[in-house]
Amino acid sequence: MDSDFGIPRELSDLQKLRSQYQPELPPCLQGTTVRVEFGDATIAADPSGAHTISRSFPHTYGQPIAHFLRATAKVPDAQIITEHPAVRVGVVFCGRQSPGGHNVVWGLLEALKVHNPESVLLGFLGGSEGLFAQKTLEVTDEILATYKNQGGYDLLGRTKDQIRTTEQVNAALNACTALKLDALVIIGGVTSNTDAAQLAETFAERKCPTKVVGIPVTLNGDLKNQFVETNVGYDTICKVNSQLISNVCTDALSAEKYYYFIRLMGRKASHVALECTLQSHPNMVILAEEVAASKLTLFDITKQICDAVQARAEQDKYHGVILLPEGLIESIPEVFALLQEIHGLLRQGVSADNISAQLSPWASALFEFLPPFIRKQLLLHPESDDSAQLSQIETEKLLAHLVEAEMNKRLKEGTYKGKKFNSICHFFGYQARGSLPSKFDCDYAYVLGHIAYHILAAGLNGYMATVTNLKNPVNKWKCGAAPITAMMTVKRYGRGHGASTLGKPALHPATVDLKGKAYELLRQNAIKFLMNDVYRNPGPLQFDGPGADAKAVSLCVEDQDYMGRIKKLQEHLDKVRSIVKPGCSQDVLKAALSAMASVTDILSVMSSPSTGGTPF
């Protein structure tokens, strides 16, 4: 099996053309000198978890953010690194495959060789299991030739996503020590980067010289925080799915007799469903975050869809397209509680055949109410994080079944006088995952690979490569690095009653912000989308010409340049210091004191544990 990794691909004419595309580098990453400016020490975004995080990560918590600077930048206290000894770096795919992952490896290799041709990049074969077993492939430009700007993770492969248990951490440490690695670059999402942070802390504690660097790559788009605007792969996934959805919308409008229920990837968050809605304009989308916030039951959701079907029927429309995230099923309160009971019994060793008889009365009643195919899927063993096997639970078929039953009931009772309801169901789960990456993801991943080397050159450990100002052209991107611990929160486990147990610090999936600009844009257009069939087809993925430089709507409407704002604030503070010096006038001093007192009072209130942070 190992012999299959890194072998040349047979490329189509389009793939050959894509392999020749050379991504652009921002000015701050060009040349053979690394210029880094360190900001202030970081703190936890949620003050209530700061003590727990700092105690769990004594060696890597509170490190400063880093900005990488262009050669012309006039920053007096910047660190200029001109000496680049040969280094050995390992790279591992830890998360689920996401378009653009190969370009991270390419960018990293190129940065290594540009700064010192003697440096070596080792790829671990088969993900984290390959790391534990020390199975490596030396990555060269020749090996990468047919993988540049290509989808998939088949250059190196992946298996399990975890580096978490004591045994696994020790195996990773032993591998890095035996292979004399100066750095280990971990490519993945929230789970993988949480493990990267723990690995960095353990390495620092045990004085292992290997630095650990994280790269935000996940198709779910849920590794978002003040430092990370979006993830590699998300742009491609949304564009490919949006075309598929748009094709279905055109089909629905042509036949005028079917409702299409389409389930999309997005385990804990509905970012993909939201973005695809903004790109393709289907009639409805039901976001898991809306359902959780409003505590909508299965009956509520069914009624919502049925009322929409009935309203459209009154306009003589008997077709439509409805999007659902795969995580929707766990956001429905009574279904989530049922799943918790089932998973508890499975953990106790109760066989699937006997679970129904051991459920509590209300759970048993709900279980028996559900159609047989859903019952079977709910009985599947949970994932390693205790969540249901969401990709295997056909929520779209469940809702189509319930809506059809309710519409037939209304038809029989005479409260609905339209045509019979017909549905067709789809799950767009894996169709987009192996796609050729979009131009944006090719560029973004390649740039992150270069930043990974800059982090190593700056001697940093436990950092994630970051790029902000992404909605602008590449030459305006701002590159830096932030400690992964600064992105962590302490989640209060459990939902509903008694959810008070404190868990371990971790990166948690960022859910759709129901107060954010992207969601606001959806709400502004919801009625128009529902009733007017304003379907929009962005067409197939574009690599050149019109549409090639289009970026995610949600990325463009949000104003997210956090790192840029931090620098701007520092400039203002420096300017205040330069103006208000001993010898300035009384009026200037009074104005500065008054303004600063007001600002600090406001910020103290906002940052206090009782008001700050993110509730879970």
CATH number at residue 115: 3.40.50.450
- For residues 214 and 347, membership in a common domain is answered with no
Q: Enter the DSSP assignment of 615.
A: -
Query: What SS3 state is found at 582?
Result: coil
Query: 90 and 212 in contact (C-beta within 8 Å)?
Result: no
Q: Enter the DSSP assignment of 322.
A: E
- The pLDDT assigned to 593 comes to 86
- The pLDDT assigned to 613 comes to 42
Query: 151 and 442 in contact (C-beta within 8 Å)?
Result: no
- For residues 347 and 478, membership in a common domain is answered with no
- For residues 488 and 464, membership in a common domain is answered with yes
Q: List the structure tokens of 325.
A: 């995230």
Query: 576 and 544 in contact (C-beta within 8 Å)?
Result: no
Could you tell me which residues are beta bridge partners of residue 196? none
CATH number at residue 317: 3.40.50.460
- pLDDT tens sequence across 296-315: 999 999 999 999 999 999 99
- The lowest-confidence range among 28-42, 124-138, 475-489, 563-577 is 563-577
357: in domain: yes
143: in domain: yes
- The lowest-confidence range among 34-38, 263-267, 315-319 is 263-267
580: in domain: no
- For residues 421 and 450, membership in a common domain is answered with no
In whole angstroms, what is the distance from residue 13 CA to residue 519 CA?
A: 40
Task: Using alpha carbons, select from 225, 315, 175, 302 the residue that is nearest to residue 511.
Answer: 225
Q: Which domain holds residue 364?
A: 234-433+513-557
332: number of Cβ within 10 Å = 22
Percent of the chain past pLDDT 90, that is, above it, reads 76
321: in domain: yes
Averaged pLDDT, 228-246: 97
- For residues 197 and 176, membership in a common domain is answered with yes
- pLDDT tens sequence across 39-90: 889 988 888 889 999 999 999 999 999 999 998 888 888 999 999 999 999 9
- For residues 395 and 346, membership in a common domain is answered with yes
Q: List the structure tokens of 377.
A: 């899927």
- For residues 553 and 445, membership in a common domain is answered with no
- pLDDT tens sequence across 374-421: 999 988 887 766 677 888 889 999 999 999 999 999 999 999 999 999
- The pLDDT assigned to 558 comes to 83
594: in domain: no
607: in domain: no
Could you tell me which residues are beta bridge partners of residue 259? 320, 423
Residue type present at position 156: L
Residue 492 pLDDT class (50, 70, 90 cuts): low
Residue that has been written with the tokens 């959806």 in this structure: 522
User: DSSP secondary structure string, 90-121?
Assistant: EEEE-SS--TTHHHHHHHHHHHHHHH-TT-EE
- The lowest-confidence range among 30-34, 92-96, 159-163 is 159-163
Task: Using alpha carbons, select from 223, 194, 232, 230 the residue that is nearest to residue 104.
Answer: 232
500 exposure class (CB count in 10 Å sphere: 0-12, 13-18, 19+): exposed
- The pLDDT assigned to 586 comes to 83
Q: Is the dihedral of CA 184, 217, 268, 613 positive or negative?
A: positive
540: in domain: yes
Please give, one letter per residue, the 3-state secondary structure of 336-368: HHHHHHHHHHHHCCCCHHHHHHHCCHHHHHHHH
Percent of the chain past pLDDT 70, that is, above it, reads 94
Query: What SS3 state is found at 487?
Result: helix
In terms of average pLDDT, the best of 69-83, 244-258, 570-584 is: 244-258
Task: Using alpha carbons, select from 108, 94, 90, 110 the residue that is nearest to residue 187.
Answer: 94
Residue 500 pLDDT class (50, 70, 90 cuts): very low
Q: Is it the case that residue 498 has pLDDT exceeding 60?
A: no
- For residues 115 and 247, membership in a common domain is answered with no
558 exposure class (CB count in 10 Å sphere: 0-12, 13-18, 19+): middle
Averaged pLDDT, 164-171: 94
> CA 614 from chain center: how many Å?
17
- For residues 517 and 482, membership in a common domain is answered with no
User: DSSP secondary structure string, 503-556?
Assistant: EEEE--PPPP-TTSHHHHHHHHHHHHHHHH-------S--SSSTTTT---HHHH
The alpha carbon torsion through 456, 459, 465, 469 (nearest 10 deg) reads: -120
In whole angstroms, what is the distance from residue 582 CA to residue 589 CA?
A: 9
| Strand duo 34-41 + 79-81: pairing | antiparallel
Q: Is it the case that residue 161 has pLDDT exceeding 90?
A: no
Could you tell me which residues are beta bridge partners of residue 122? 90, 138
Q: Is it the case that residue 197 has pLDDT exceeding 80?
A: yes
Could you tell me which residues are beta bridge partners of residue 188? 216
In whole angstroms, what is the distance from residue 125 CA to residue 30 CA?
A: 30
Helices 439-457 and 101-115: angle between axes, nearest 10 degrees: 40
Q: Enter the DSSP assignment of 217.
A: B
613: in domain: no
In whole angstroms, what is the distance from residue 181 CA to residue 210 CA?
A: 6
Please give, one letter per residue, the 3-state secondary structure of 24-50: CCCHHHCCCCEEEEEEEECCCCCHHHH
How close are the terminal C-alpha atoms of the chain, in Å?
A: 42
Arithmetic mean of pLDDT over the chain:
91
- For residues 519 and 406, membership in a common domain is answered with yes
77: number of Cβ within 10 Å = 6
- The pLDDT assigned to 276 comes to 98
Residue 612 pLDDT class (50, 70, 90 cuts): very low
Q: Is the dihedral of CA 61, 64, 65, 67 positive or negative?
A: negative
- The pLDDT assigned to 580 comes to 84
282 exposure class (CB count in 10 Å sphere: 0-12, 13-18, 19+): buried
How many separate domains does the chain show?
2
In whole angstroms, what is the distance from residue 560 CA to residue 529 CA?
A: 27
Query: What SS3 state is found at 424?
Result: strand
In whole angstroms, what is the distance from residue 289 CA to residue 272 CA?
A: 13
- For residues 244 and 393, membership in a common domain is answered with yes
- For residues 490 and 450, membership in a common domain is answered with yes
| Strand duo 478-483 + 489-492: pairing | unpaired
